[in-house]
Amino acid sequence: TPVDELAIDSADLAPLTHEMLRMRNVAVRVTARGFSMAPWILDGDVLTICPADASEMRVGDVVFFERPAGTVVAHRILRKLKRDGVTCFAVCGDARAAPCEVVAPGQVLGKVTAARRGDRVLAISNPAPRLLAIFRAYPRHLVRKLFH
C-alpha cells in the first residue's frame, strides 16, 4: 500500500531537504515545530518550501536554511548585509524570542512559499509580514524618514 506521510527524524531532515531542494529541484513540505514564527507560522503548520537560490531572496521572505549544527530553520529575512564581500542575511523569527542570526548563501536551502493550517493555505508572500519585517529591521527614526 502507498505511504501518504513519511515521518523523518529532525537529524535527517537537513540532508534530505538539501537533496530534494538543491539536487533534484523539487519542492518539499515539512511540519513546522515551535513558535518562533508566530503569529504567521504556528507549530503544526505544514510549510511548502520551494527551491530558491540565495540571490533570489528579498527582505521579508521566509528562508529555509541549515544551521551549522545541522538543524533546519525557517525564519524571515530582516535585511541583507555584506560579510567579507558576500551578501548574507540577517534573519529572525517573527516572534523575536531570540536574537537575529546571520545566514550565509551556502546555508540557504529554499524559500517558504505557503503554510497550510488545517483547511486554510496561507500565502507567506503576503505584503503584511514583509512590511512588518522592514519596520522591525530598522530603527524608528530611519523608518520615519522613509515614509515622511
For the stretch 131-141, pLDDT in tens is 766 666 555 54
**Residue whose cell numbers read 524618514:** 145
Q: Percent of the chain scored above 90 by pLDDT?
A: 41
Task: State the distance between the two ends of the chain, measured CA to CA, in whole angstroms.
Answer: 62
Q: What is the pLDDT of residues 28-42, one digit of tens each?
A: 888 999 999 888 899
Residue 146 or 44, more confident: 44
- pLDDT given for residue 71 in this prediction: 87
Q: What is the pLDDT of residues 80-95, one digit of tens each?
A: 999 999 999 999 998 8
The count of C-alpha atoms lying within 13 angstroms of the C-alpha of 97, restricted to the half-sphere facing its C-beta, is 9
- pLDDT given for residue 69 in this prediction: 87
